Amino acid sequence: MLEQIEQWIDATNIKYKTQRISCEKFASEFAGFYPVEFLKNAFYVIVDEIPKPNFPFLREMGLDDFIDMDAAGTTYKNTYYMLPYVADNLAVHFHELVHVAQWSELGAEAFMLRYITEIQQVGYDAAPLEVMAYSLDKHFTNNGKKINVPELVIQAL
């Protein structure tokens, strides 16, 4: 199952490869939060519709609400996808970059397994990986003290 999802993710990231924009463009905005090297290896794509894996087995696992959720962005490995209306929203970029760091630290299989399990057990809003991303983007939005987010993610996971 996870292998099938990862193949879909890889195919999706390849499909949009020419449309990816490097997050290095946020080096000044996110200085002190994300190292430039991290940003150089993270990308985003502005899309009219967020690509989502819609495998029947995901729905059978009770993930209907998550699959059908009206999300403004989602992250697959080092690339996140966002709708045009949030493309200029730094908090959304910050949030999705937390997920890039989580994917990087856990690896694809472990991230997917943990994310799916968290959604199943406590729902999207209470899922620890989401809580981490939302709390860090709130910290940034509230002009919080600069912290190395990828290092913090490594310590937290």
Banded model confidence at residue 156, pLDDT cuts 50, 70, 90? very high
Q: What are phi and psi of 52, to 5 degrees?
A: -135, 140
Banded model confidence at residue 95, pLDDT cuts 50, 70, 90? very high
Q: Please give the residue range of the domain that contains residue 100.
A: 2-151
Residue 112 counted as domain residue: yes
Residue 103 has pLDDT above 80, yes or no: yes
For residue range 44-93, list pLDDT tens digits in order.
999 999 999 988 888 888 788 788 888 999 999 999 999 999 999 999 99
Q: Tell me the mean pLDDT in the region 85-107.
A: 98
Closest CA to 16 of 39, 40, 48, 38: 48
Check residue 65 and give its pLDDT.
77
For residue range 20-52, list pLDDT tens digits in order.
999 999 999 999 999 999 999 999 999 999 999
Residue 139 has pLDDT above 90, yes or no: yes
Total tally of structural domains belonging to the chain:
1
Check residue 68 and give its pLDDT.
85
Residue 121 counted as domain residue: yes
What's the angle, vertex CA 44, arms to CA 40 and CA 48, rounded to 5? 170
Residue 10 counted as domain residue: yes
Give the residue carrying structure tokens 């939005």: 141
Residue 157 counted as domain residue: no
